[in-house]
Amino acid sequence: MSDNKPSITFFSTDSIECPVCGKLFRVEKMRHGRGRLVSKEITDELRRVYEPTQAYGEVIPIHYSITVCPDCYYAAYQNDFLSLKAPEKESLLGKRKDRKDTIHEIFPDLDYIKPRREKEAAASYYLAMVSYELLNPDKAPTIKQGLSALRAAWIFSDMHRKFPNDNYDYLSTVFYKKAAYLYNSALRKEFAGKERVSETPGLGPDVDKNYGFDGVLYLAALLLFRYSDYSNQEEKIEILRNAKSTVARIVGMGKKMKSKPTVILENARDLYNEIGDYIKAYEAENGTTENQA
Ligand SMILES: [Zn+2]
């Protein structure tokens, strides 16, 4: 973080008590106001790009979405942080050492008492992922893990651009793959009635706009297409056929389209065509055709 810039965050006056370990701490929050954020384009991963300003430098709002206990490293989105049931607290307390040891292998000197640096931000999403693993299905933990993996991948890519020799691109890819798995796993749970993804607030994926369940459908397919590993080409084509129908749910319904944001429709249409072309190229090469059910 630059030394001469005014702070873009502040710490809450009142402390909160960590529901897992009892530590009292003040929560870091972002200041909102004129000139701090200059929005630019949105990427095809639905990430908002912000232009650094002279006064504040680079400001990335997703750095501050996760509340992290500075002592036991329990981490969750702000709205979930305090709402733990007894068995959840117990499991989170039991995994306290695991959480700390694992993240310290990547970042040995994390500090959640001082203003967050990029590494605390990236680590906060990893810590949220392992914390949500222990939370009840009523908190829709799988999609929150997926969203956390995606944002971790974004922050690691930012770090790679600044420090190209530190292997952050490797970490970014690892988290993109996790996100691909988790988004699709969350969708399966939604369709099986196990977790209510579609009713979850704050699906983002960035903080500037919530694309809701359409965003989840779109990202599930995009991440699968771009980042997933496959054991062979036939498996990949089979999975991509499903991904294509997932995207079709967003773009397919002509009359409903008007109510949807242009960004998601345009991106979904592009992705639908891109996956379609990929499948066609495979079929042309192998003399097979898509089995239209
Ligand atoms: Zn704690």
Q: How far is the CA of 138 from the centre of ligand 1 (A)?
A: 22
93 C-alpha vs ligand 1 centroid, how far in Å? Answer: 8
- Pairwise CA distance, residues 153 & 93, whole Å: 27
Cα(45) to ligand 1 centroid in Å equals 33
d(CA 30, ligand 1 centre) in Å: 22
Residue 194 DSSP SS3: coil
DSSP letter (8 states) at residue 260: S
Q: Return the SS3 of 60.
A: coil
pLDDT (tens, 9 = 90+) of the chain, 293 residues, equals 445 677 889 999 999 999 999 999 999 999 887 778 888 999 999 999 999 988 888 899 999 999 999 999 999 999 999 999 999 999 999 999 999 999 999 999 999 999 999 999 999 999 999 999 999 999 999 999 999 999 999 999 999 999 999 999 999 999 999 999 999 999 999 999 999 998 899 999 999 999 999 999 999 999 999 998 888 999 999 999 999 998 998 877 544 556 778 899 999 999 999 999 999 999 998 877 655 44
Cα–Cα nearest to 159, from 111, 188, 118, 190: 118
CA of 94 to the centre of ligand 1 (A): 12
Q: Give the DSSP H or E segment for 13.
A: strand 9-17
For residue 3, the CA-to-ligand 1 centroid distance in Å is 29
Residue 261 has a pLDDT of 83
From the CA of 19, how far away is ligand 1's center (Å)? Answer: 7
pTM reported for the whole predicted model: 0.93
